[in-house]
Amino acid sequence: MTLPFRETIQPLLIAPVAALVVLGGYMVLVKHVGPYLFIMLLIAAPFVYAAEILFVMPLLWLWPASRRPSFAVGALWGALAAWGFLLVLETMASFPQRLSTLPSTWRQRQDFGLFCLPGVASGLLFAYLTRKD
């Protein structure tokens, strides 16, 4: 059974929080941002929501069956949305040209997975929120 589009608005607003939590954890544990974490997350939030607007909302609008994805589809969809958005940034801005080719070494695969992890978290949370009754 598909959800009406208006019932996906709340999960769409909440799901990117999972991506911000993953980004925050990375910033604290790896980049050691310390007291500037809140500011860094405020800077990242528009990009996370822009990825959702570009790569998730049009599909939800055009394909009603995608409004209640399984967890696997939500995770894959989130990873692809994150990768797609980073490719858009790479082509439109002075972003390093690291993401336009698929990774070949183990280190490149780890970096690629790190880029996609916030999208996976967001997709999983969206799948959970649309499935709970």
Where are the domains positioned within the chain? 5-131
What's the rounded mean pLDDT across residues 86-101? Answer: 67
- Residues 60 and 56: their CA atoms lie apart, in Å, by 6
Residues 3-16: pLDDT tens digits?
A: 888 888 899 999 99
pLDDT higher at 31 or 117: 117
The mean pLDDT of the chain is: 85
Grouping H, G, I as helix, E, B as strand and the rest as coil, residue 132 is: coil
Sign of the C-alpha dihedral computed for residues 53, 129, 124 and 65 taken in this order: negative
Residue 15: both structure tokens together: 């799901």
What's the rounded mean pLDDT across residues 25-34? Answer: 86
Instruction: Region of 32 please: left (phi>0), alpha (psi -120 to 50) or beta.
Output: left
Sign of the C-alpha dihedral computed for residues 107, 109, 110 and 114 taken in this order: positive
| Closest alpha carbon to 84 in 63, 100, 68 | 100
